[in-house]
Amino acid sequence: MNEIGQFIKKLRKEKGMTQTQLAEKLNISFQSVSKWEIGETLPDTNILLSLCDVLNTTVDTLLNGGNLINKQRKIIKVEAIVEGFKHLEKVKNSFGEDSYFYKGIVEGISKKMNFNFEETLNTNPEVLYTEVVLGYLTNGYTVDMEEVKVWIHNDKYIKEIKKRM
C-alpha cells in the first residue's frame, strides 16, 4: 500500500495538483487522498479508472506502485521466419511449382496478403519477413532488434518494426 500511495503522490505532484484538487476531480474528500498517499488505505475500485485518467496512468501500473510490469512475452525469431520461407521453397521443389498444392499455398497467401506472394518472395523477401514480424508483434510477441537487423536491412522496414514494438 505504501508503494501505491507514494506513486499516487508522485503522479499528483507531477501534475502540479494538491491533495484537495485531486480529491475535487474525483468527488471525494482530501482526507481519502491523504490516506492513500501515506499507505493507510487504497482507492476504492469504483474510482480507480477515474483516478488513473486524472493521473494519466493505467490501473495495472498504479496497482504495481509504478513498477514496470514484467509480462512474460513470447519471442519470435526472425531466423525461424526465414526458415519458414525456405520450407515453402522446398514444397515448391518437392511438388513442383505447377502443382495444385504449391499453387494453393501461393494463391492463398497472395489473396490474404493482397499482393503477389511468389514474386515478392523472389524479388524482395525482406518485405515478407517484415510482414510476418509485424503480424507477430500485433499478437503480443516481441523480437530482438539486433536479430532483425541481421535479416532485414531496409531502414524503412526496421523503423516500422521499432514503431510497433
- pLDDT tens column, 120-149: 989 999 999 999 999 888 877 899 999 999
**Which residue, among 21, 23, 17, has the nearest Cα to 36 in the 3D structure?**
23
pLDDT at 157 over 60: yes
pLDDT at 146: 95
In our burial notation (b when 16+ CB lie closer than 10 A, e otherwise), range 85-118 reads eeebeeebeeeeeeeeebeebbeebeeeeeeebb
DSSP secondary structure of 61-103 = HHHTTTPPP-----B--HHHHHHHHHHHHHHHHHH-TTSHHHH
**Using DSSP, how many helices (H) and how many strands (E) does the chain show?**
11, 0
- Domains, the chain: 2-63 (1.10.260.40), 78-164 (no CATH)
- pLDDT tens column, 39-93: 999 998 889 899 999 999 888 888 888 876 555 568 899 999 999 999 999 999 9
pLDDT at 134: 92
- The pTM score is 0.55
